[in-house]
């Protein structure tokens, strides 16, 4: 639990978001460039033909998952869910 409290989740989410943005732009630009080259040479190019295209896509997906998880943990940290205190709800007048 102390790891969750001490980790700077906002920074982790920000770094992951930057990687996601640049990896997505690179993946799309690579597809456009390889498609143009393939068109000029009368060949066909796909989005997952080369190993580096697959690697770029996997990095994009993994960093996206890390970003979402870090945002969730950042919000939970700000709400104080990692304090270790149990919250009990009291009975309100009129409840049965």
| Out of 2-6, 28-32, 66-70, 92-96, least confident range | 92-96
CA distance 78 to 11: 14
Q: Is residue 87 part of a domain?
A: no
Question: What is the SS3 assignment for 25?
Answer: helix
The total domain count for the chain is 1
For residue range 67-77, list pLDDT tens digits in order: 999 999 999 98
**5 falls within a domain:** no
Q: Provide the phi-psi class of 94: left if phi over 0, else alpha when psi is between -120 and 50, else beta.
A: left
Tell me what the mean pLDDT of segment 18-26 comes to.
97
In a domain, 7, yes or no: no
Look at residue 74 and tell me if it is in a domain: yes
Mean per-residue pLDDT of the chain: 87
By residue range, what is the domain housing residue 74? Answer: 12-79
């Amino acid at each position: 639990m102390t790891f969750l409290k001490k980790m700077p989740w906002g920074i982790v989410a920000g770094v992951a978001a930057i990687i996601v943005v640049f990896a997505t732009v690179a993946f799309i630009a690579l597809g456009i460039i390889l498609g143009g080259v393939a068109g000029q040479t009368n060949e066909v190019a796909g989005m997952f033909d080369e190993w580096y295209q697959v690697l770029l896509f996997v990095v994009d997906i993994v960093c996206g998952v890390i970003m979402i998880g870090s945002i969730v943990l950042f919000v939970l940290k700000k709400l104080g869910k990692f304090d270790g205190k149990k919250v009990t709800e009291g009975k309100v007048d009129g409840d049965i």
